[in-house]
């Protein structure tokens, strides 16, 4: 066989001699005789390539040049080219029309190195696999590591070291690879046309219609037909502040301020729920009422935005705080435990109290391996600890402006969690789960650790998030399952800002959260006397979307 074809086989079937073509037919026949091999008609596989696969599937008109080394399970679609001296090993799936430059390595496996007392080559291998989409151009000397997915129409620049997923339509380069620009503008984070600025213009134009839709003439409701809730009043205030810079125009601002202030119990400082007729129920003792607990956050921040404040001190604990914190269900319900830490931290901040005991416990009990509290569970993976971390850190380290104990481990944990399709697949996303990824990455961005990976993830999630909007109605909390409402709209708008800031496009939005989901620490508050009240460990709360 001619050496020119071995190294440049692209014109083989149009210019090669009959003898050369017969020889290539024989090569294809020899390969297809092996178990798990299916090389389509019209392919070319150089006899100078080292093909040692358990499974090899090549679609029509796919070319494998000289010096290529393949092992494991390799599946490629039609019209692909694998240039000279490329290595494709492990479990690798390649779409249609993919061009791979010379001296590139796609390594769909990895070595375990968990035990430092055992030589690496004696430890087992793992394989998550590599997935390459359609119409992807991979330059020369690129390295793609195990577990990476490359979206359709992406470009991997020459010399890139790709350690995490590449969004569809992105051009990435560097070590580690990061998004340099966009080959396909419609895939760029933000709406299909105009980017974040156009998205912000659209949601700002929708602000009054969204609020009108959720106003029953006297109170705000989360969505038409829903019951009246105190949270809905607060979400309306947050949305109006974000998009209009004013109080919701459906009611006089003074009325909204007085209503929120009057709902606080002067004895306990807590805020009970609303009954069906709009009358208020009394909050349970301490923080045993989950809605009343979240009202510490929602009402307090809504009053901030309305230029006011809670009139009364919030009663907290007279029990042993470290013991109460230890008793929270960190082992199997870390979100639940983080929920109460968020409330405790916020109440301490609102009261102007010191939080030394709370921070002392959190610092001593953070897991150095994950940077978080609690442990992953088999049913949920890392969901509980990541979501619990957001709540616990929001009300403490973020709200008080105190550095986290293990920020790099937090990034590792969040990025690992973000590979779980149960959480990030667009049709399974909900506002809590994506916010609880975005905020920890934003809070730790100053480290620069794995910044390119965090930015690429943020770009992908941002592109998904803006598509959840329903014009004229806002966002559903779980867009594929729940109709648009105030809670979903407020949370998604805040999440979109965090993701946009991670990608460097937040200024184009023209808004910045100032309420519950504000990025900056809350301003210091004057002390308001001693803290008294009941312990928190008796709470029977379960998670219902209060991130």
> d(Cα 139, Cα 81) in Å, to the nearest integer?
12
Q: Count of H helices and E strands in the chain?
A: 17, 21
Q: What is the DSSP letter of 124?
A: P
Residue with tokens 């810079």: 245
Residue with tokens 């690129």: 142
Cis peptide leading into 176, omega within 30 of 0? Answer: yes
Residue with tokens 């939080």: 355
> d(Cα 120, Cα 125) in Å, to the nearest integer?
10
Q: Which of 111, 258, 446, 544 is catalytic?
A: 111
Q: Is 25 one of the catalytic residues?
A: no
Please name every residue paired with 484 in a beta bridge, in sequence order, or none if there are none. Answer: 476
Going from the C-alpha of 115 to that of each of 24, 122, 125, 370, 413, the distances in angstroms are 47, 10, 13, 18, 20
Token output for 203: 């949601």
Spatial contact of 29 and 12, defined as CB atoms under 8 Å apart: no
Q: Looking at the chain, how many residues does it have?
A: 547
Q: How many CB atoms lie within 10 A of CB 17?
A: 10
Going from the C-alpha of 352 to that of each of 196, 296, 362, 386, the distances in angstroms are 38, 14, 19, 28
Residue of 235, 229, 238 whose CA lies nearest to 271 = 229
Three-state DSSP at 125 gives strand
Q: Which residues are catalytic?
A: 111
């Amino acid at each position: 066989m001619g050496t020119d074809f071995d190294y440049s086989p692209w014109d083989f079937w149009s210019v090669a001699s009959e003898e050369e073509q017969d020889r290539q037919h024989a090569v294809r026949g020899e390969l297809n005789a092996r178990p798990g091999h299916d090389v389509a008609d019209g392919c070319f596989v150089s006899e100078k390539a080292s093909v040692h696969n358990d499974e090899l599937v090549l679609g029509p008109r796919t070319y494998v040049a000289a010096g290529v080394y393949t092992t494991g399970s390799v599946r490629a679609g039609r019209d692909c080219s694998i240039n000279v001296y490329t290595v494709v090993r492990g479990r690798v799936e390649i779409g249609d029309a993919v061009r791979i430059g010379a001296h590139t390595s796609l390594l769909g496996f990895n070595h375990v190195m968990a035990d430092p007392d055992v030589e690496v080559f004696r430890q087992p291998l793992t394989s998550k696999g590599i997935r390459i989409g359609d119409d992807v151009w991979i330059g020369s000397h690129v390295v793609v590591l195990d577990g990476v997915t490359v979206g359709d129409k992406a470009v991997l620049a020459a010399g890139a070291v790709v350690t995490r997923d590449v969004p569809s339509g992105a051009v990435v380069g560097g070590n580690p690879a990061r998004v340099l620009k966009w080959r396909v503008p419609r895939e760029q984070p933000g709406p299909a046309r105009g980017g974040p600025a156009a998205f912000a213009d659209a949601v700002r134009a929708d602000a009054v219609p969204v609020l009108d839709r959720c106003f029953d003439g006297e109170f705000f409701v989360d969505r038409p037909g829903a019951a009246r809730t105190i949270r809905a009043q607060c979400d309306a205030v947050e949305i109006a502040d974000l998009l209009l810079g004013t109080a919701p125009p459906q009611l006089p601002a003074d009325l909204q301020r007085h209503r929120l202030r009057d709902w606080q119990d002067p004895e306990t400082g807590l805020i009970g729920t609303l009954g069906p007729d709009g009358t208020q129920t009394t909050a349970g003792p301490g923080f045993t009422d989950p809605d009343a607990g979240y009202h510490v956050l929602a009402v307090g921040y809504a009053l901030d935005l309305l230029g006011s404040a809670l009139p009364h001190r919030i009663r907290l604990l007279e029990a042993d705080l470290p013991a109460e914190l230890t008793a929270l269900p960190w082992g199997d319900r870390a979100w639940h435990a983080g929920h109460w830490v968020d409330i405790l931290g916020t109440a301490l901040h609102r009261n102007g109290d010191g939080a030394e005991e709370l921070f002392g416990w959190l610092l001593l009990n953070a897991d150095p391996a994950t940077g978080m509290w609690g442990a992953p569970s088999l049913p949920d993976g890392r969901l509980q600890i990541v979501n619990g971390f957001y709540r616990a850190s929001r009300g403490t380290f973020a709200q008080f402006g105190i550095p986290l104990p293990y920020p790099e481990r937090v990034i590792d944990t969040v990025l690992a969690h973000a590979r779980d399709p149960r959480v990030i697949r667009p049709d399974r996303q909900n506002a809590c789960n994506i916010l609880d990824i975005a905020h920890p990455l934003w809070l730790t961005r100053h480290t620069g650790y794995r910044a390119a990976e965090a930015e690429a993830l943020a770009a992908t999630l941002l592109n998904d998030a803006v598509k959840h909007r329903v014009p004229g109605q806002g966002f559903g909390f779980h867009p594929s399952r729940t109709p648009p409402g105030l809670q979903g709209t407020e949370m998604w708008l805040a999440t979109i800002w965090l993701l946009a800031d991670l990608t460097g496009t937040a200024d184009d939005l023209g808004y910045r959260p100032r309420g519950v989901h504000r990025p900056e620490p809350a301003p210091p508050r004057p002390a308001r006397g001693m803290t008294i009240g009941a312990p928190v460990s008796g709470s029977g709360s379960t998670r219902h979307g209060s991130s």
